[in-house]
């Protein structure tokens, strides 16, 4: 067989497959255009979200606390992946691997304690009522003369 005939034998299945794929795409697009619903009513063009009518704007602002908590979650979730991989390899790692794991857990605990201490896990600031209650309690602890009379 000459090289041109060999080339034709190898290439014709690829051409047939490409033609079939393009034909199928064209058929699906054409059928959806012909059989698809046609309505331009006001309610038909509204977004549909879990059976609830949309309210408000999609450009709503969220507190940065949501993003901070999400980032902290992803960070600690990845740490769990490292813990599982250590648990699988623990017998081969020996005591040096155990010491490295304990130091890793210690660093992880320090990070969580720091995030907790700076208030990264608090959802909202104290309400004004809580501030008033705190002021009243601190006044009572000081035992001011005006209150003793």
Domain containing residue 25: 1-48
Q: What is the pLDDT of residue 18?
A: 96
Q: What is the pTM of this model?
A: 0.41
Look at the block and give the residue holding tokens 């979650």: 73
Partners of residue 52 on adjacent β-strands: 49
Q: Which tens digit of pLDDT belongs to each residue from 110-145?
A: 988 888 888 777 776 665 566 666 667 776 666 555
Same domain, 141 and 78: yes
- The total number of structural domains that make up the chain: 2
Same domain, 2 and 32: yes
Q: What is the pLDDT of residue 29?
A: 95
Tell me, yes or no, whether 3 lies in a domain.
Answer: yes
Q: For the domain that residue 87 is a member of, what is the CATH number?
A: 1.20.58.1610
Same domain, 71 and 39: no
Same domain, 91 and 142: yes
Tell me, yes or no, whether 19 lies in a domain.
Answer: yes
Contact 68, 115 (CB under 8 A): no
Contact 121, 115 (CB under 8 A): yes
Same domain, 68 and 134: yes
Q: What is the pLDDT of residue 15?
A: 92
- Please state, in angstroms and rounded to a whole number, the distance separating the CA atoms of residues 127 and 110: 29
- Please state, in angstroms and rounded to a whole number, the distance separating the CA atoms of residues 144 and 138: 10
Cα-Cα end-to-end distance for the chain: 118
Same domain, 69 and 107: yes
Tell me, yes or no, whether 57 lies in a domain.
Answer: no
Look at the block and give the residue holding tokens 């940065």: 64
Q: Which tens digit of pLDDT belongs to each residue from 39-94?
A: 677 666 666 667 676 677 777 777 777 888 888 888 888 888 888 888 898 889 88
């Amino acid at each position: 067989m000459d090289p041109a005939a060999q080339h034709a034998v190898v290439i014709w299945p690829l051409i047939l497959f490409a033609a079939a794929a393009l034909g199928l795409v064209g058929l699906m697009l054409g059928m959806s255009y012909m059989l698809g619903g046609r309505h331009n009513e006001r309610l038909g063009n509204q977004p549909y979200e879990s059976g609830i009518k949309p309210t408000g704007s999609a450009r709503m602002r969220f507190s940065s606390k949501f993003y901070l908590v999400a980032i902290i979650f992803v960070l600690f979730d990845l740490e769990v992946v490292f813990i599982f991989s250590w648990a699988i390899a623990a017998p081969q790692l020996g005591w040096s691997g155990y010491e490295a794991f304990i130091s890793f857990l210690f660093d992880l605990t320090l990070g969580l304690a720091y995030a907790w201490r700076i208030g990264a896990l608090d959802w909202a600031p104290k309400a004004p009522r809580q501030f008033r209650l705190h002021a009243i309690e601190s006044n009572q602890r000081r035992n001011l003369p005006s209150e003793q009379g």
